Structure 1
Amino acid sequence: MATKVLFVGGTGQISLPCVAEAVEAGHEVTLFNRGKSDVALPPGVSVIAGDMKDPASYRQLGEQQWDVVCQFMVFTPEQMAQDIAVFTGRVGQYVFISSASVYEKPARHYVITEQTPAINPFWKYSQDKIACETMLQASTGLPWTIVRPSHTVRTGLPTMMGPADTTVQRLLDGKPIIVAGDGATPWTLTRSADFAVPFVRLFAHPDALGEIFHITSDRGYSWDAIHTAIAAGLGVQAQIVHVPTDTLVRFNPEWEGPLRGDKSWSALFDNTKIKSVVGEFECAEVLETVLEEPLAHLRRRMAAGLKVDAGFDQLIGQIAAAQSALGQ
Structure 2
Amino acid sequence: MAQRVLVLGATGAMGQYLVPSLAKKGYQIDTVSLDDPPWTFPNVTHIKADAKNQAFFLELMSRNYDAMVDFMTYPTAQIATYLPLALKSVGQYVFLSSCRVYADVEHPVKESSPRLIDASDDPWLLASDDYCIYKARAENALRASGFGNWTIVRPATTFSHMRFQLVTLEAYLTVRRAREGKPVVVPIEAKDKHATLSWGGDVADMISGLVFNPKALGEDFNVCSSEHHTWGEIADYYHDICNLKAVWVPKEDYYQILGAHEFNPGLRWQLEYARLFQRISDNSKVLEATGLKQESFRTLYDGLKHEIQKFPEQFNWPEWTKPAYERMDNYLKDRKH
TM-score of the two chains, using structure 1 as the length reference: 0.86
What's the CA shift for 1:167? 3.5
Select which of 272, 280, 283 maps to 1:271. 283
The aligned amino acid for 2:32 is F
Segment drifting more, 115-124 vs 148-157: 115-124
C-alpha distance in structure 2 between counterparts of 1:176 and 1:195, whole Å: 27
Quote the residue 1:79 is aligned against: 78
Select which of 98, 105, 109 maps to 1:108. 105
Matched, 1:290 2:297: no
The aligned amino acid for 1:275 is L
Matched, 1:166 2:177: no
Question: Please, which runs of 5 or more residues in structure 1 have no aligned partner?
Answer: none
The aligned amino acid for 1:111 is P
Quote the residue 1:29 is aligned against: 29
SS state of the match for residue 268, structure 2?
helix
Q: Contact (CA 8 Å) 1:99, 1:149: kept in 2 or not? A: yes
Quote the residue 1:17 is aligned against: 17
Matched, 1:91 2:102: no
What's the CA shift for 1:269? 0.7
> For the structure 1 residues 305 and 69, does the alpha-carbon distance in structure 2 shift closer, same or farther, using more than 3 Å as the test?
closer
C-alpha distance in structure 2 between counterparts of 1:4 and 1:103, whole Å: 33
What's the CA shift for 1:324? 8.4
Quote the residue 2:274 is aligned against: 262
- 1:112-140 CA-to-partner distances (Å, cap 9, x unmatched) read 00011221554701111111111222213
1:60-209 maps to which residues of 2 (within 5 A)? 60-104=59-103, 107-119=104-116, 122=125, 124-141=130-147, 143-155=149-161, 156-171=163-178, 172-181=180-189, 183-209=191-217
Q: Contact (CA 8 Å) 1:84, 1:142: kept in 2 or not? A: no
What's the CA shift for 1:23? 0.9
Q: How many percent of aligned residue pairs carry the same amino acid?
A: 22
C-alpha distance in structure 2 between counterparts of 1:237 and 1:304, whole Å: 18
What's the CA shift for 1:203? 1.3
- CA RMSD between the two structures: 2.7
Question: Please, which runs of 5 or more residues in structure 2 have no aligned partner?
Answer: none
Matched, 1:311 2:317: no
The aligned amino acid for 1:157 is F
> For the structure 1 residues 324 and 285, does the alpha-carbon distance in structure 2 shift closer, same or farther, using more than 3 Å as the test?
farther
Q: Contact (CA 8 Å) 1:84, 1:139: kept in 2 or not? A: no
C-alpha distance in structure 2 between counterparts of 1:288 and 1:229, whole Å: 6
- 1:37-96 CA-to-partner distances (Å, cap 9, x unmatched) read 252343320234443343222111222222111111133233332223423433221110
What's the CA shift for 1:226? 1.6
